[in-house]
Amino acid sequence: MSYRTEELARRQGDHGLAAQPAGSHIARMILSRLIGPAALLSAVGGTVAAAQTRHVDLRLTEGTNIAAALSLDGQTIAIDLLGRIWTLPRAGGTAKVLTDEFGDARQPAWSPDGKRIAFQSYRDGTWHIWSVGADGSSLRQHTLGEFDHREPTWSPDGTSLLFSSDRSGNYDIWRQTLASGRLERLTSDPADEFGPSAGPDGSVAFVSAKPGAAGIWLRDPNGTTALWAAAEGRVAGPSISPDGGTIVYNVIAGGGSELRAAERGQPSRLLSAAGDDVFPFRAAWTAEGTILYTSDGKIAEVRPDGTRLGAVPFDGRITFDRTAYQRARRDFDGTRPEPVRGILSPTVAPDGRSYAFVALGDLWRLTAGGLERLTTDLFVEADPQFSPDGTRLVYATDRGGSMELWLRDLATGADRQLTKSGGAALPAWAPDGARIVFQVQRGIATEIHSVGVTTGVITPLRTNLFGPSRATFSPDGRFVAIAALRANSAKYREGRNDILIMPSDGSPDRWVIPPAGRGVGARGIDGPVWSPDGKRMAFILDGLVWSQPVESTGEPAGPPTRHSDELANSLSWTGDGSRLVFQATKGLRNVDLSTGAVEPIAIPLTWRRSHPARTVTIHAGRMWDGRAERLRTNVDIVVTGHRITAIRPHRRPAPGDSVIDASGLTVMPGLADAHAHIGYGAGEALGRTWLAYGITTVRDPASDPFAIRERREAVESGARIGPRELATGRIFDGQRIYYGFNNAMTPGAQLTAELVRAAELRFDLIKTYVRLPDLLQYRIIEAAHRIGIPVSSHELYPAVAFGGDHVEHISGTSRRGYSPKMSGLSRSYQDVIGLLTASGMTLTPTMSLQGGFGWLTGRDTTILNDPRLTLAYGADYVRQLRQPPPPQFRVTPAMITSLGQTVRRVIDGGGVVIAGTDAPIIPYGLSLHTELMGYVEGGGLTPVQALRTATSAFADAMGLGEDLGSIAVGRLADLAMVEGNPLERIADARRVKLVMKNGEAFSIEQLMAGPVKRPAAPPRR
C-alpha cells in the first residue's frame, strides 16, 4: 500500500494489520495470534487439509452506487469503488487505489488545496470521518467514539469538516474544526438532517426529513435555515454551485432516479435523461460550469441546461486469492446414539431441585429421580416456565391449532389451554402467580400482553416493540423488565439491546443502559432476569453471565459481577436467589452465588437417527435428475432405506414389490430454499408446509443456536416431520444490532468461544452481518474455514477477497444506507457481476423479497388461491397478501427485469446462484416457487437453469453434491413428484402431488389433513 503502515498501526493498534493485503504472510501471522486457530482446532478436534489457491485478477470499468469527487484544480477525480478510495485523471484512465480493503471507505471529498481526500470509513466498527493524502500517504482519523459520522465535506477555507452524525439521537449536521478537534452542531431539528454540501460563502445545503417540509434545505452563514426545494421523492446528495445560486441533487421516485437542479424558490428541473440510474451522492461542479455525477455505473457529465456530455472512463484492477478448504462432513447416515444438544429454553424450578426444558419435540422435566417426558405428541412445545410455587408449568404449544399458552399441573398431569391469541410465546409469571405476561407477533411488531391465570382475561400492555426478550418481574410486581432494541436514530434501524423498565401503573417506561454502554446479549429467551428478592438483576453481556445490584425500580445500584467463563443462554434463578442456572454450549450449569462455584447439570438424554428399513420403487413417467437439460421417461427409481440404490428403465414389478406409481408425474430432486428463517411460530404445520411445496431442504442463516439442534434432532429422530435443515446460530454482528438473534460481537474470547460453539453444535454455516467491521469478518472467515465451516454475509467486497463463501440478497440491508450491490433502480453493474463470476462466490438473490413476489402475484392472483398457504398462515394473512403493497415497496416491471438480468448475467458468466426467499417476510413455501418463476419470467433463464438453483447448484454450493440436489445412485432419497413438465413450464414445479424425504413418501392429502406420523409404508397411488 502507498500510505505508511507504521502510522496506521500507531493510530489503530491491532487494526494496523489492515495495511497488509488480504492473505499476506504478516496479516495471517497476526490474525493467527489474535484468534488462536490452533487452539480452536484443538478445542473442536478440527483438521485442515492442504489448501488449493486460485488467483483472481479483475479489471473494473463500472461501479455500483459509487460516488465521485473532483479536485478544486479540476485535474483529478476521486471515487469510492468497492469501498476503497481511488484517484484517476479528470479525462479518465487508469485508477490508482489509495486505501486498503479493511476501511470500507465511502463518499470522498477533496480538500480545497487538493492535498487530502476526506471520506467516511467503517474501519473500527463505527462510521467515522477519515482523510488520506492525495498520494495515498498520511491516513488520519478525525472523529472517534460510539456515534456514526457520515458524508463529509470540507469548508471553503479547508479549516473544518462538515458531516452528518447521530450524536444527538437523530442525524444532524455537525462541523469539526481541524486544528482543535472541536465539534459544533449546526442543525437541531428533531427530524433527520444529513448529506451536507458547503457553499462558497459558508452556507450549507442538506437534506431534511422534516414532516410536511422534507427536501433540500439551506443554512446561511448566520445560522438561519430555510427550505430550498421541496422533496419530490427520496432526495439525497445536494451540491451547491460555485456561485451559490443553484443546488443539484438526486431524486428517486416513481421508478426513476434523477439528477435535478433547483434555484431558490423555483421549480426543479431535470438534468439527467429518462431511464438514467443516477446514484444518490453529491455531484461535483467543474470550473467550466458542467456537473460531474455518477450514474449507470459510470462517471457522467452534464451541462446545467441538461446537455449530456461523454462519460469519464476509469480502469481499476484488484487481485485476490480464493483458497479451497475441507468442509466439515455432515452425517446423514449414522444411527448410533448421540447426546442431545438441542436443549431448548431450560429453566429451574423455584426449589432448585428440578428443571424443565424442550428436547426432541417434547416437554421434559429433570428431577433427582431422573428424566420425565411430560408430552409425547406430534406438536411443537416451547418456552416452559415454572409457576412461583413450583406446582405448574406454563408453556407454548400448537396442539390447539396455533401456538398458545397452556398450563400443566405437575401433580396431576392435567393440561388446559390458557390463551387464544393466534400465537403466543415467551411467557413469564408474575410473582403472585395470578397472571402471566407473554408476547404475540403481529407482522414485524411484537405485542406484550398479560393473561389472568384463573380468568383467562387478556390485557394488552405494549404494541410497538420489535422482537424483545422474555419479560421479568420485580418481586412486588410493580415493574416488568425486558431487553429491547433502542435504535440510535430514526434514519437507520440498528441500535443496542438496552433494558426497558415498564411500570405496571401505566407511568412512562424507562431505559436502563447496561454496564460499559454495551447492549445485553441477544434478545428472545436471553433477556434480563430479576432476582426473587429484587436486589440483583442477571443478564448476559459479551456472551457471559453477569449480575448487578439494583434498586427496587430496576435502576443500577452498584458495579456488576461476572459469574461465568463460558458462553451462556437461558438464565433463571432459584426461588431463594442463591443460585443462577444457565445453558452453556455443552449442557446446563449451576452457579452458586455465595461461592462462585459453577457446577454442571447432567441431562442423560440421547437421540438417534431413524431411517426407513425397506425398499420401494418409484415408477416415474418423467424424471429430471437435477443436472441434465432433458427429461428421461418411463424410469424406475429404487430407494433402499433413505438412499437411491438404482435407476433403470421401467419394468413390471414383481409380486410383493412396494411401488409408488408416479407414471403420470415428473419426478425431480426435492427443492431447497437457500435462505429462510424457520422458528416455532407456525408450529408443526410448518414442516408439512415445506414438504407440501416439494421443499425437502431449508438453509436457515440465523436462528437460536439450540433451536437448530432441537429441530434437527426432532426431525431426524422421527419425533415430527419436516425438511432437512442446514443452519447457523446467531448472527455475528457489530456493536449496533437490529434482530434479536444478532450477537453484538467483541474481539477476543467471545469470538473464539462462538466459533467453538459453532463446531460443537455442528453449524452448517456462519453468517456475519452488516455492522460487523471488515477486520473481524476477515478473522471469522479464516478461523471458520480452519474448522470446515463456510461463511455468509450481506457483503460482497471485501468478503470475497477474504474467502467468504456466500452472499445473501442482490440488495439487502447495508450499514451504508444504500446497497453496494444494487442501485435504487435494482441494477447491478460490472463490479458486482465481475466479482461474482470471477470468484465463484455464491449469490442468493431473494428476488421475490425485492418485489418479485408482489409483482408475480399481482399479475396472477390465482397464485394466492393455493390451499397450502393455510397450513402455516391464517385466512387473514392470505387476504392481506391480496392487498397492493405500500408505495415504498412497489416495483416497476423494469426493476424486476433488472433484478432478473443480474441473476442471468451471473449464471451466464459461470457464477453460482442458489434460490432463497427470506421467508417468512414473504410466505413459506410458495415464495420459493415465485423466486424460480421470477428467474424465468424476469431474468430470461430457462426453467432448467432456474431449477438447478434450488437443486444441484444449491447442493454443490453447500458441499453436499454427493448427497443432495440430484437423482443418482447413492444420493439421499429426497424427491418431489409433480404434475406437468417443469422443464417446459416453471410453474409446474409447484404442482406437487407426492414428496419423498429421506426415503419416506407423503401425499399432499396427508400433509394437508393434519399432523402426520411417519408412515409404516409408502402411500400407494
What confidence category does residue 927 fall into, taking pLDDT thresholds of 50, 70 and 90?
very high
pLDDT at 263 over 80: yes
Q: Are 836 and 845 in contact (CB under 8 A)?
A: no
Yes or no: say if 896 and 825 are a contact pair by the CB < 8 Å rule.
no
Q: Report how far residue 719's alpha carbon sits from residue 721's, in angstroms, rounded to the nearest whole number.
A: 7
Distance CA 787, CA 792 (A): 15
Specify the pTM.
0.93
Question: What is the CA 388 to chain-centroid distance, rounded?
Answer: 37
Residue type (1 letter), 821: K
Tell me the pLDDT tens digit for each residue of 517-575. Answer: 788 888 988 889 999 999 999 999 999 999 999 999 999 999 999 999 999 999 999 99
- For residue range 720-779, list pLDDT tens digits in order: 999 999 999 999 999 999 999 898 887 778 899 999 999 999 999 999 999 999 999 999
Whole-number pLDDT of residue 26: 31
DSSP annotation of 348: E
Contact assessment for residue 678 and residue 725, using Cβ atoms and an 8 Å cutoff: yes
Q: Is the pLDDT of residue 22 over 50?
A: no
C-alpha grid cell, residue 329:
462432513
Query: Is a pLDDT exceeding 80 seen at residue 863?
Result: yes
Grade residue 166 by pLDDT with cuts at 50, 70 and 90: very high
Can you give the pLDDT at residue 291? 98
For residue 258, give the C-alpha cell: 434523477
DSSP letters spanning 127-196: -EEEEEETTS---EE---SSS-EEEEEE-TTSSEEEEEE-TTSS-EEEEEETTT--EEE----SS-EEEE
Q: What is the pLDDT of residues 170-227, one digit of tens each?
A: 999 999 999 999 999 999 999 999 999 999 999 999 999 999 999 999 999 999 999 9
The H or E element spanning position 5 is: helix 5-12
C-alpha–C-alpha distance, residues 187 and 183, integer Å: 12
Task: Give every CB contact of residue 873 below 8 A, 6+ residues apart in sequence.
Answer: 682, 923, 924
pLDDT class of 621 with cuts at 50, 70, 90: very high
pLDDT at 8 over 50: no
Residue 745 confidence (pLDDT): 84
What's phi and psi for 863, nearest 5 deg?
-55, -35
* Residue 517: DSSP 8-state: G
State yes or no: pLDDT of 342 exceeds 80: yes
Lowest mean pLDDT among 15-29, 254-268, 717-731: 15-29
Residue 594 scores a pLDDT above 70: yes
Q: What is the mean pLDDT of residues 684-699?
A: 98
Helix (H) or strand (E) run with residue 757 in it: helix 749-760
Q: Check pLDDT > 70 for residue 44.
A: no
pLDDT at 16 over 50: no
DSSP annotation of 60 reads E
CA atoms of 55 and 46, how far apart (whole Å): 26
Q: What's the pLDDT at 578?
A: 96
The region, left, alpha or beta by phi > 0 then psi within -120 to 50, assigned to residue 247 is beta
Residue 240, class by beta-carbon neighbours within 10 Å (0-12 exposed, 13-18 middle, 19+ buried)? buried
891-913 pLDDT, tens digit per residue, is: 889 999 999 999 999 999 999 99
Q: Looking at residue 888, what is its pLDDT?
A: 63
Do residues 280 and 250 touch, judged by C-beta distance below 8 A?
yes
Strand locations in 209-280 (E): 215-219, 225-230, 234-240, 246-253, 256-263, 269-270
What rounded mean pLDDT belongs to the chain?
A: 92
* Residue given cell 438534468 in the structure block: 271
Could you tell me if 585 and 615 are in contact, meaning their C-beta atoms sit under 8 angstroms apart? no
Out of 8-22, 162-176, 190-204, 309-323, pick the least confident.
8-22
Of 363, 373, 369, 368, which is closest to residue 398 (Cα–Cα)? 363
Indicate the pLDDT class of residue 33, thresholds 50, 70 and 90: very low
Q: How confident is the model at residue 876 (pLDDT cuts 50, 70, 90)?
A: confident
What span, in angstroms and rounded, lies between the C-alpha atoms of 579 and 349? 11
Question: With pLDDT > 90 as the criterion, what percentage of the chain qualifies?
Answer: 86
Task: Retrieve residue 350's grid coordinates.
Answer: 423455584
- Residue pair 200/189 in contact by the 8 Å Cβ criterion: no
Task: Give residue-wise pLDDT tens across range 627-643.
Answer: 999 999 999 999 999 99
Q: Which residue has the cell 421516485?
A: 253
pLDDT 10s digits, 395-433: 999 999 999 999 999 999 999 999 998 899 999 999 999
C-alpha separations of 879 from 825, 855, 876, 990 in Å: 29, 16, 5, 21
Are the beta carbons of 525 and 548 closer than 8 angstroms? Answer: no
Contacts for 443 with CB less than 8 Å, ≥ 6 apart: none
Q: Which residues have a Cβ under 8 Å from the Cβ of 959 and sit 6 or more positions away?
A: 327, 790
| pLDDT computed for residue 9 by the predictor | 35
* Integer Cα distance of 980 and 988 in angstroms: 6
78, pLDDT greater than 80 = yes
Binning pLDDT at 50, 70 and 90, where does residue 131 land? very high
Answer whether residue 1017 shows pLDDT above 80: no
The pLDDT of residue 51 is: 62
Q: Residue 1 pLDDT > 60, yes or no?
A: no
